[in-house]
Amino acid sequence: MRGASPADEMEYVDIDEPGDSPELDEPERSLDEATRHPGGRFEFLDPPARGRDLAPLARRDRSPLTFDESPDTASPSRGDPERPDWLERDPPAVDGSGEYFTLEEAEPFRLWSDMKSVPGVLWADTKSLFTWPNAIILGAAAGGVVALRDDVDLKVRNETAEHPSRWGEGSEVLRQFGEFSYQVPVLAGAYAASLWTQDETLHEFSLSTLSAYGLTAAATVTIKGITNTQRPTDAFQNGHYGFPSYHSASTFCIAACIEEYYGWKAGLPAYVLAGLVGWSRIDQREHDLSDVLFGAVLGVVIGKTVSAAHLDRQADLSISPYYDARNQATGIAIEKRY
The stretch 307-329 carries a mean pLDDT of 73
Q: What is the pLDDT of residue 319?
A: 62
Q: What is the pLDDT of residue 77?
A: 43
Q: What is the pLDDT of residue 256?
A: 98
Q: Residue 335: is its pLDDT beyond 70?
A: no
* Residue 22 contacts residue 94 (beta carbons within 8 Å): yes
Whole-prediction pTM value?
0.66
Dist CA 1 CA 233 (whole Å): 46
Dist CA 67 CA 328 (whole Å): 13
Dump pLDDT digits (tens) for 294-304.
999 999 999 99
Radius of gyration (Cα) for the chain, nearest Å? 26
Please give, one letter per residue, the 3-state secondary structure of 184-239. Answer: HHHHHHHHHHHHHHCCHHHHHHHHHHHHHHHHHHHHHHHHHHHHCCCCCCCCCHHH
Kindly indicate the confidence band of residue 106, based on its pLDDT and cuts at 50, 70 and 90: low
Q: What is the pLDDT of residue 155?
A: 92
Which is nearest to 257 in space by CA: 305, 186, 319? 305
Q: Residue 25: is its pLDDT beyond 90?
A: no
* Residue 303 contacts residue 260 (beta carbons within 8 Å): yes
What is the bridge-based pairing of β-strands 74-77 and 92-94? unpaired
Dump pLDDT digits (tens) for 232-285.
988 888 889 999 999 999 999 999 999 999 999 999 999 999 999 999 999 999
Q: What is the pLDDT of residue 114?
A: 94
| Residue 175, amino acid | R
